Amino acid sequence: MASLMDELLETMEEEKAGYDALIALTDDKRESIVHNKLELLEQVTSREEEITSGLKNLENRRLKVLKDMAVVLGHDGEDMTVTHLIALLKEQPKEQAALTKARDELVESAKRMRFMNDQIQILLEQAMEMVDFDLTLFRSLRQAPETANYNGSGYNTGDRLGGGGFDAKQ
């Protein structure tokens, strides 16, 4: 049981380190979006994918250890969670305290990561709105305004002035 507890704590610490590494990358990601540095954004995204893959592996390892601990504690067949395990370890205050600390730190890192992701999402949405605005502006510059020509019924004909390009005929 002690080796399983050590493995669980180690896995949770590695998960926290992974989340902290992702949080550190958000500054670079934010800078690349704000300053339109696509090469940096590509590098950051690639690094994030590597870290995320590692986090998924750590999560699977944590779930496997929790399942093994459930078998050892006689709770086979139950979905064991860290919180449930903490409740079961009331007779072992040292292990319970260490596990509680590791869980709280991991949860806090995950919350910070979610907050940073939400900020990046808002920033990306604003960047996309700006691109859309620029495209609309560019398109409108290439269109000529409508003339004030009316037909016999008094309705605007919708005619446009000549195009904005060079006219070779004079």
Residue 158, in any domain of the structure: no
Residue 137, in any domain of the structure: no
Phi first, then psi, for residue 130 (nearest 5°) are: -65, -40
How many H helices and E strands in the chain?
A: 4, 0
Residue 150, in any domain of the structure: no
In the predicted model, is pLDDT for residue 25 greater than 80? yes
Residue 91, in any domain of the structure: yes
Is the distance from CB of 45 to CB of 132 less than 8 angstroms? Answer: no
Domain count, the chain: 1
Q: What is the pTM of this model?
A: 0.72
101-19-36 Cα angle (round to 5): 150
Residue 98, in any domain of the structure: yes
Mean pLDDT lowest among 16-20, 35-39, 79-83, 151-155: 151-155
Rounded distance between C-alpha atoms, residue 65 and residue 68, angstroms: 5
Residue 63, in any domain of the structure: yes
97-147 pLDDT per residue, tens: 999 999 999 999 999 999 999 999 999 899 899 989 988 888 877 765 556
Residue 164, in any domain of the structure: no
Residue 120, in any domain of the structure: no
Range of the domain at 34: 2-115
